[in-house]
Amino acid sequence: MKSDWHIKLSQLPQNQASNLHLSVAISEQQAIAEYIKAHQGVLITEWVALENTNKTYWTILYYYQSHWICVSSPLNPKRPSIIDLSVVFPVCNRLQRALYDLTKITTKHAQDKRPWLSHGYFKTGVLNSNAASSRHADTTYHFNKVSGDGVHEVPVGPVHAGIIEPGHFRFSVVGERVLKLEERLGYTHKGIHQLLIGKSLLEASRLMGRVSGDSTVAYSYAFALACEQQLACPIDANTCIMRTVLLERERLINHIGDIGAIVNDTGFASLASQFSILKETLVRENAALTGHRYMMDIIVPNQPLEKWDHPTIKALLSQLDITLTELATLQSLCRRHHGLQDRLKTTGIVTQETALSLGLLGVAAKASGLALDVRSSQRKALYADIHFTPITETTGDVAARVAVRFQEAKQSIEIIKSLLTKPQTPDVNSNNTIKSPLGVGCVEGWRGPVSVVLTLTSDHHIAWCHFHDPSWQNWLALEHAVIGNIIADFPLINKSFNLSYSGQDS
């Protein structure tokens, strides 16, 4: 006999996005995870909501065949614990370790109980007043060892030569070939989850825009959608258009910057400088358009955005045409440069099988042949009106990740031009007419889907808020991508993912 959740999942409409909330016993969570994984769905995030009523819920958010599935289970109030889903979705290993650091809620049968976010500088269970501990995590971290003839370790970081955030990489190598990489992150934990509690929507929006500064639009947009969903707040057409335009500008700028950085890591500084010039032109234009080079604090829940005036739009479109032409020229130069292609092709491969197994998201998934892009189901962001199609490559190497960025950058230009030049009368209120007990917002940021889940108090302040960066999933891919490559190629492979330290260390 099929379970109730199995019937509901099997009856979801095809080719039509929807939201489904399931409340199940905790014992059913693994079966649901296995079902969704078997049907090529992905786990977006998991969290534990500590309610003021002393009730605690464990909830997982899935993206499954264009549907958003929230699966919640109440926990035992006396001895709350969750079950280990890392055998289905590997990212859960780190998410569950982080949950323990922050809430002191254990994971049954978990094999890896090392701390993840905690380096001994905050108390275990800091977010859980009912389980707060006076104990700090052990500052000694035990990396998994590889033994054998000629195997040695190479530690890199956490302090790096550049201005990037801290992260430790422990390589096990034979000669120059990498046998294994293990990451250790979480060095600059900011405590944003705690800071958000009790904040007004405006205050919280400013915090959310700083979780990972290069994705400020994506985080602010996802936060606004989550708030507006819970409040059943209508979104006007102009606001919807402008939010989408800003999101696509953020994607365009970061992809251009990333391609230049990858080219620079191969040693072709003169070619890389052309990408830097192109990016700088666009961020200066951002400052003129929005008052901030990276468009911080522009998107706020319940606050309308007006389309720019005709002269401004005309100048913007002209610059986009120039950018599109220059991108095509630069892509041609990259393709025809044999030395550059020699470094990019067959380097840092993540196969489609590995991408599926790890549940990868965003550019990393698309470069390995997975057409996973939540814009395909985002009616509210107007992508259905412009016949959006995800960009994919099949080789899964650095060259594929560069190719996806080139094509997505050009696609973003066309999306912006379409939104600003065609009259729009979208049905933007269809998903925001019923007040939801749980606000869920998710947008496809330039790295992948950025999600925000929250509940608000009666006076519209934050009761609790959870957010998730796709870097959580994709850091795992980096560990696989370097296997068999020479250690000198690690900076290049790492840059081809360009994952957020800050986004998974909030």
In degrees and rounded to multiples of 5, residue 294 shows phi and psi of -110, 15
Strands 449-456 and 462-468: antiparallel
3-state secondary structure of 113: coil
Q: Is the dihedral angle over the CA atoms 168, 370, 89, 375 positive or is it negative?
A: positive
Do the Cβ atoms of 434 and 214 come closer than 8 Å?
Answer: no
Strands 177-184 and 168-174: antiparallel
3-state secondary structure of 5: helix
Residue 48 lies in a domain: yes
Residue 440 and residue 293 share a domain: yes
Residue 260 lies in a domain: yes
C-beta neighbour count of 13 within 10 angstroms: 10
Number of domains in the chain: 2
The structure tokens 């009730």 sit at 55
DSSP string computed for 145-176: P--STTEEEEEE-SS-SSSPPP-EEEEEEETT
Which candidate, 271, 262, 269, places its Cα nearest to that of 332? Answer: 271
Residue 77 lies in a domain: yes
Do the Cβ atoms of 226 and 232 come closer than 8 Å?
Answer: no
Residue 426 lies in a domain: yes
Residue 488 lies in a domain: no
Tokens read off for 503: 């986004």
The structure tokens 């992905």 sit at 42
3-state secondary structure of 422: coil
Tokens read off for 379: 């009616």
Residue 440 lies in a domain: yes
Residue 222 lies in a domain: no
Task: Look at the chain and count its residues.
Answer: 506
Do the Cβ atoms of 87 and 112 come closer than 8 Å?
Answer: no
Distance CA 27, CA 49 (A): 18
Do the Cβ atoms of 4 and 28 come closer than 8 Å?
Answer: no
Question: Domain boundary residue among 91, 121, 154?
Answer: 91
Question: Domain boundary residue among 91, 119, 154?
Answer: 91
Taking the CA atoms of residue 440, residue 441, residue 446 and residue 449 in that order, the dihedral angle to the nearest 10 degrees is 20
Domain that holds residue 314: 229-460
Residue 235 and residue 86 share a domain: no
Which candidate, 212, 67, 196, places its Cα nearest to that of 455? Answer: 196
Return the CATH number at 400: 1.10.645.10
Per-10-residue mean pLDDT of the chain, 506 residues long, equals: 82 80 94 94 92 78 91 90 96 96 92 92 84 73 90 91 86 95 93 94 96 97 95 90 96 98 94 97 97 96 94 96 97 95 97 96 97 81 77 97 98 95 60 68 96 94 95 97 95 96 90
Question: Domain boundary residue among 460, 475, 499?
Answer: 460
Residue 213 lies in a domain: no
Which candidate, 73, 62, 71, 69, places its Cα nearest to that of 12? Answer: 69
